[in-house]
Structure 1
Amino acid sequence: MLSTGLPQGAVPRLERPGPLRERVYEALLELITTRALQPGQHLVESELAGHLGVSRQPVREALQRLNTEGWVDLRPAQGAFVHEPTEEEADQLLTVRTLLEAEAARLAAAAADSDGVVRLEELCAQGEEAVAADDVDTAVALNARFHATVMELAGNTVLADLAAQVDRRVRWYYTPVARQRGQQPWIEHRALIAAIAEGDESRATRLMREHTEHTRRSHHDRPAS
């Protein structure tokens, strides 16, 4: 175990071809959003470079970009640290998420076809299996895919672009409460699928709003780490 807190072998080395700077950025962002790198954790350039199999330069550039975007805090004479989100930041982000997702659910109910409903059902079944197996990482990823699919079925590219801007932060906030929420999100997903399949825009909107509010409240009520 290195001081960065990453298990040996957890991070694959990056292949050299392609835009290395971008791939290092994406790799570090994924480690942050999945909480493999915890809020407040010190990020040592040399150790991260060793994990990723790159030089320190692209790591330094990625950390600077992540600092600009609010994922990392660069502290003078101390180094880089994963940002620790405040309750206000989480509340604002998850409130905006509720607005976007509720509208997506309404549009999906108005536009979704049987193929779209089947895709949602398949993701829901996979998510239920992941929770039953206590595979939190997979459950979180499938939850994100489920919501992205609802957004896709809504058919509004502007709405989808806005949702994409908050998606990773939603995942960041959701990960700590995923085990606590257990199967309940997937029960709520099942009810939402039924509303979308029936073309009930009003019910789909209400269910999605309630569903996302549950996540927001769970984040605020989570046990102290």
Structure 2
Amino acid sequence: MSYASGTAAERVYDEVKELILTNALVGGELISEGDVAARCAVSRTPVREAFLRLETEGWMRLYPKRGALVVPIGEREARDVVGARTLLEEHAVRSIVDDPAARAVLVAQLEENLTAHRGADWADLAEFSRLDAQFHQLIVAAGDNPLLADFFVALGERHRRMTSASVHRDASIPERILTDHRALLTAIEAGDADAFASSLGAHLAGVHDLRTGIRR
């Protein structure tokens, strides 16, 4: 792939970040500027700029003359992301539980998402994790609080990376995600916020291997 000089650093940044989010570059892996420059058909200068940006955002840790370490997903990070997601999704569902019309709109959106998700190629982690994130974003958006919805979207990249890592860890995770999403949809359709909360906690803890539960 060849890049125009003016956008080389931006495009290298996008490509390497996508590799991190889809777990093609796993946490703990050390990569070099030279390898990435060759992969992207650019000089080392835009690669260095992209690496610096990725380090600033917390995706990498740079070691002079050695390369860049892809920062692993820490247990604290996983719990914090899941905890924030839990609060936002439960809040959204409780805000529409007494509004049949709003629930019906959300159920239709989630059914469409599940159909697409079920038909996706599970080997395409970028698409599978995107649809997974979209399912949960639809729930939060239904709460009709733009500030909370924007914050949830900001968690989307970490959400995608965690999902990709879970699928790499356990081949049964995609089927579990789809089964759990059906249970969440059913609880919303029934207007049962408590059942949704219980199913969501079990879903997130199981998919992301948080065996001791989720702090709330």
User: Do 1:127 and 1:142's aligned partners in 2 also have CA atoms closer than 8 Å?
Assistant: yes
CA 1:155–1:57: 2 relative to 1, 3 Å: farther
Partner of 1:126: 116
Residue matched to 2:154: 165
Q: Secondary structure at the match of 2:155?
A: helix
How far is the alpha carbon of 1:115 from its aligned partner?
A: 4.1
Q: Displacement of 1:30 after TM fit? A: 1.0
Normalization by structure 1: what TM-score? 0.76
Match of 1:88 in 2: 76
SS across alignment from 2:76: helix
Q: Describe the shift of the 1:219–1:122 C-alpha distance in structure 2 as closer, same or farther (beyond 3 A).
A: same
Matched, 1:209 2:201: yes
Does structure 1 residue 54 correspond to structure 2 residue 13?
no
Q: Equivalences for 1:1-225 in 2 at 5 Å?
A: 13=1, 16=4, 19-107=7-95, 109=97, 110=99, 112=102, 114-130=104-120, 134-135=122-123, 137=125, 138-178=127-167, 179-216=171-208, 218=209
Unpaired runs of at least 5, structure 1: 1-12
> CA distance change for structure 1 residues 215 and 107 in 2, over 3 Å: closer, same or farther?
farther
Say what the alpha-carbon RMSD is for the aligned residues: 2.8
Aligned twin of 1:4: none
Query: Using a 3 Å threshold, how does the CA distance of structure 1 residues 108 and 191 change in structure 2: closer, same or farther?
Result: farther
Tell me, what secondary structure is at the counterpart of 2:58?
Answer: coil
- Taking the aligned partners of 1:58 and 1:149, their CA distance within structure 2 comes to 36
Asked if the contact 1:101/1:209 (under 8 Å) is kept, the reply is: no
Q: 1: CA distance between counterparts of 2:112 and 2:69?
A: 38
- What is the CA-CA distance between 1:35 and the residue it aligns to? 0.9
Q: Deviations over 1:145-179 (max 9, x none)?
A: 21122222222221122222322112222223232
Is residue 108–residue 151 contact of structure 1 (8 Å, CA) maintained in 2?
A: no
Counterpart of 2:147, as a letter, is: V
| 1:108 shift after superposition | 5.3
Distance 2:24 2:87 in 1: 29
**Contact kept? 1:98, 1:213, Cα under 8 Å:** no
The CA deviation at 1:57 is: 2.3
> Residue 67 of structure 1: CA displacement?
0.9
Query: Structure 2: which 5+ runs fail to align?
Result: none
How far apart are residue 15 of structure 1 and its match?
5.3
Cα distance between partner residues in 2 of 1:103 and 1:14: 46
How far the C-alpha of 1:79 sits from its partner, in A, is: 2.0
CA distance in 2, matches of 1:142, 1:91: 21
Runs of 4+ deviating beyond 4 Å: 17-20, 108-111
